[in-house]
Structure 1
């Protein structure tokens, strides 16, 4: 029996708009017209019942199941009157419908089933990139290690490549050696799966020149779905459309934020911005690293992003969609600055975390809390970088870039006058009411925020007065970016700066120019040194940088993985050494399924992906599928959520797909940002031919 997808372009186009699939059933034991056929998604157990209809070339099942109501590339089982059990008969690969001509969409019949022991990038591989899968060595205890086969997803299930499995080095966590299937030499584009006779098959994957376009768009559009203070319309939101929530037109000054011009209880308006994570609050510190990461991605790969459409409402038709989306959060950040003195409120929040309900149902009072140096400096860096990056679009955004620059300078002055105002939520709650118990984002070490702000102001204003601050706060060492460690981002922005025009500036004497060049070189070496450390910490059991150190696994471990990839791609940008790019790809493979859990960690993508993220909108919207494009937190041996049912005590297996497991399955704007960067960097640097 074979499932075969629609065979005309007209039908394909119609189904694309419906985001569904149309299938035919053929075979000797096929159901009769009018009989009810059950399709069961093997990973989620979701059941769809369809009536068989007669067609000119056989029998078909017409379905309008939304593409993302189940993970793409899903494996289905079928049952009808003449079959008692649920035999597996076909892969229904939804991605094929959107990417391949209709004539090539015939699917196959296989006796083997996907096995969780085969860890593979479930989205795909670049045509000329390194391609590997990892297999659990326990699949073959005491047996001769067999060959593996790459099988085409076509009507004949053609074998297109044969290879031999090889042992890996010892895995840091399990203590055993795994088996690796390397099919790098196979470069024909198409849709495939990996098969080991008698043992099973992998989930399907693609090989393409640009395999991550759809995922890149979705990981960016996730921000649109998390917009506060606006309706998500049917036009842009599809099944995830929702009512406006949190207009934030009446936000109260918390006593901790009281000033002479804005006393406690005063009301300000601060609409817009993105919900931070699984909750409905908005935080300047976390918006800071998110915005700087995404601005950096655009600045490094502008051509790619100018061609990346997100299907979102636009503030300007001239701006690339990524900048349109960033503008929505940027304008909210501007509203978080006190115009009287330039200081920036740490966050806009309810007193405690909201219930699991849709945004429109939450009517709790919202506050802005005390100003902090960390929030103000993060604000400085975002405003300075935004003013520079948006400058080419000045004619289409009248007055904005000037306002951004003025806001940055005013905030800088506040920080100079208040260089160490730390946000200590526990201490604040002892002094003021009501208690605020939402995310603190309290940072005790501010030198990295000073460094990033100084680098950003120097690059945007070309004013040598910021050179002194860059010198003062230049770090001895850097770590991968996180909301509390942003020095690496300062290094990245400094290395991208072209100060050649300073030669004609009388304010930049030879000594200052020499100092600046030395600081740039120091920043470059810091990035390369960190990248070299990452390359030398590979976990031999999976051949990924991620997991090379046990400290990689903590709250938001997948963000660690993506940020490692960002640093590696920056090193590749600076040196051109392909080893850095390959190491970054290994981490992308990890995030998309080549990891010990077997999960593709991005909602709505892959054959096995999270269905129950800790994300209030996804939990409450009555749509089975989670909002797509979100990277979940990932394995975390700390398990601070207290949820029962984790599959293992092992650090790299400490993950569960449970919407109450906030320590491993929450989403966050700062976690998605490095994923966007990594996807864009890999896509933009795909080689045109074999190296």
Structure 2
């Protein structure tokens, strides 16, 4: 072979190696795993799409092989009809940064193993609420490049014709500033605020020592209140303005008549209204205020009088609901007789028995008044579900189970049966979760994948955290963590669903500031809705398989919108896991 031929061969070999190396690294998406990291003593799994046998190994940043394992095949096929490979490296617990390698096939995104593995995610999911505050400038010192002007001062809000009452005729102007923007839009809804605010309050109530250590760089961080409570207060104080002082009833929402265009908050200047009082909104309000009262009673110097104000607001709301037990918000019906017509998010609810249960449970624990006991109705195990905004019964059950010392002093005598049934529900959640293609509770059944499926995963995780706290049985904690792994990349799409995190993050959520601010990256710390084959927005997705029916498109609100009731359980789950698995280490 002459010199020219040898040189050509060398060039060809180098080119081949470059192409092979590029293809090799580009196969990272075929390895689905938590893209952030793992705790040393916790389970560690990756899902392999293109191999269900063979070996895998972990490689450190120096390129050294540090662990070798064998890929096993999933017991069951995924929703797409295919088996997956399971790479389990739980027994490897050395801290550091690694990637998982399938020889000659693929290598994963890098990840860490550390005590604080998910601290950034836990903090970020709460900090996401700061970016979506209404009525305040989001300053650069707290928000970096996502700083923006204040929008919606809401100091001149109009009483809608559906919301008139004694002393507040149609057209009356009230002040109702603050709160969080509910979702991708700029409106504020009591029903959804209820479960979201309560979830953040519960995060503090359940993990007070850890949450005292969490500093988020928000304007209130220098005060002597935990940052998570400061953030919850931003919405709670707005909620207090939504109660009619004449009778204790609570307006369903504060809204424009129609959704704003994809513009920044300060450019959205259309008139705003408070709309119709309703039983569901009033009871959700009562529940949150009762919970807030017992929490803020522990901070009398920082928040003088607030606990008493919340307790009074809760009891007044309860009294209104008892007198008005079936005032249901039906937007279409309302629009037939009232102007202007309202076509923003409905949050209508055709039943309020669950709201009565939740409010009664919170008020019972806060006041120890026996009058609430008759309203606490238990349901069979098969009717017990993880909470969502339209079914909040289990929120009340959680409160009873977490405050058993108080409940035993009241006339409620069904606590043992409630705990037994709750743990049966938890056992039903985790049963055979290790058999499915992604090894998670979330991936057990297709019905989990509807609008806001990400919140289903997070709420399942919350339920399992409580089961762990009640029993100290690690099977519940491990499955809660697996659902968090799901949200952070171990899923059918390979996306990390929390904006600003992961190697394959959501980049185009249906969220007005993220679309309109001219910044490439979306506002961080916001949880995308996740796979939903329902496609209510009519935007095509690459797959119709339940756990793959997702597209990262700002127009696809049925799969890629953000919402406070999705972020709140994500914040709870990530922080609870960090508190429990991270052993409160920073």
What is the rounded CA distance, in whole Å, between the counterparts of 2:406 and 2:338 in structure 1? 51
Matching residue within 439, 456, 473 for 1:577: 473
2:556 alignment partner in structure 1: 661
Residue 222 (str. 1) matches residue 123 (str. 2)? no
2:317 alignment partner in structure 1: 411
1:182 alignment partner in structure 2: 88
Question: Residue 406 of structure 1: CA displacement?
Answer: 0.8
Secondary structure of the structure 2 residue equivalent to 1:181: strand
**Residues 349 and 368 in structure 1, CA contact (< 8 A), matched pair in contact too:** yes
- Structure 1 residues 207 and 88: CA distance shift in structure 2, 3 A: farther
Q: TM-score, normalised by structure 2?
A: 0.93
Output one character per residue of 1:394-450: Cα deviation in whole Å (capped at 9) or x when no partner. Answer: 121111111111111111111111011000000000111111000110111111100
Higher helix proportion: 2
Secondary structure of the structure 2 residue equivalent to 1:160: strand
Question: Residue 228 of structure 1: CA displacement?
Answer: 0.2
- Structure 1 residues 417 and 182: CA distance shift in structure 2, 3 A: same
Secondary structure of the structure 1 residue equivalent to 2:158: strand
2:3 alignment partner in structure 1: none
Matches within 5 A, 1:677-688: 677-686=572-581
Question: Residue 179 of structure 1: CA displacement?
Answer: 0.6
Matching residue within 50, 54, 57 for 1:146: 54
Higher RCO (Cα < 8 Å, 6 or more apart)? 2
Structure 2: state its 5+ residue gaps. 1-13
Residue 433 (str. 1) matches residue 339 (str. 2)? yes
Residue 559 (str. 1) matches residue 467 (str. 2)? no
- From the CA coordinates, give the structure whose radius of gyration is larger: 1
1:98 alignment partner in structure 2: none
Matching residue within 487, 506, 511 for 1:591: 487
Output one character per residue of 1:597-648: Cα deviation in whole Å (capped at 9) or x when no partner. Answer: 111111010000100000001000111110111110000000111113x211
- Structure 1 residues 231 and 151: CA distance shift in structure 2, 3 A: same
Residue 475 (str. 1) matches residue 379 (str. 2)? yes
Structure 1: state its 5+ residue gaps. 1-82, 91-108, 504-512
Matches within 5 A, 1:170-319: 170-314=76-220, 317-319=223-225
1:542 alignment partner in structure 2: 438
- Structure 1 residues 625 and 88: CA distance shift in structure 2, 3 A: farther
Q: CA RMSD in A?
A: 2.2
Residue 135 (str. 1) matches residue 31 (str. 2)? no
Matches within 5 A, 1:76-91: none
Question: Residue 115 of structure 1: CA displacement?
Answer: 2.7
Matches within 5 A, 1:477-496: 477-496=383-402
Secondary structure of the structure 2 residue equivalent to 1:443: coil
- Structure 1 residues 501 and 619: CA distance shift in structure 2, 3 A: closer
What is the rounded CA distance, in whole Å, between the counterparts of 2:552 and 2:65 in structure 1? 34
- Structure 1 residues 535 and 616: CA distance shift in structure 2, 3 A: same
What is the rounded CA distance, in whole Å, between the counterparts of 1:617 and 1:488 in structure 2? 33
**Residues 316 and 396 in structure 1, CA contact (< 8 A), matched pair in contact too:** no
**Residues 124 and 212 in structure 1, CA contact (< 8 A), matched pair in contact too:** yes
What is the rounded CA distance, in whole Å, between the counterparts of 2:111 and 2:343 in structure 1? 44
Question: Residue 117 of structure 1: CA displacement?
Answer: 1.1
1:74 alignment partner in structure 2: none
Secondary structure of the structure 2 residue equivalent to 1:580: helix
1:339 alignment partner in structure 2: 245
Question: Residue 502 of structure 1: CA displacement?
Answer: 7.5
**Residues 356 and 619 in structure 1, CA contact (< 8 A), matched pair in contact too:** yes
Residue 532 (str. 1) matches residue 427 (str. 2)? yes
Residue 123 (str. 1) matches residue 123 (str. 2)? no
What is the rounded CA distance, in whole Å, between the counterparts of 1:536 and 1:111 in structure 2? 36
Output one character per residue of 1:348-397: Cα deviation in whole Å (capped at 9) or x when no partner. Answer: 00001110000000011100000000000000000000010111101211
**Residues 448 and 475 in structure 1, CA contact (< 8 A), matched pair in contact too:** no
Residue 372 (str. 1) matches residue 285 (str. 2)? no
Question: Residue 86 of structure 1: CA displacement?
Answer: 13
- Structure 1 residues 626 and 413: CA distance shift in structure 2, 3 A: same
- Structure 1 residues 111 and 660: CA distance shift in structure 2, 3 A: closer
**Residues 134 and 150 in structure 2, CA contact (< 8 A), matched pair in contact too:** yes
Output one character per residue of 1:164-213: Cα deviation in whole Å (capped at 9) or x when no partner. Answer: 11111122412222111110110001111001121121011111112111
Question: Residue 111 of structure 1: CA displacement?
Answer: 6.5
Q: TM-score, normalised by structure 1?
A: 0.80
- Structure 1 residues 593 and 499: CA distance shift in structure 2, 3 A: same
Output one character per residue of 1:459-502: Cα deviation in whole Å (capped at 9) or x when no partner. Answer: 111112222222xx333332111001111110100111144597
Higher strand proportion: 1
Residue 641 (str. 1) matches residue 537 (str. 2)? yes
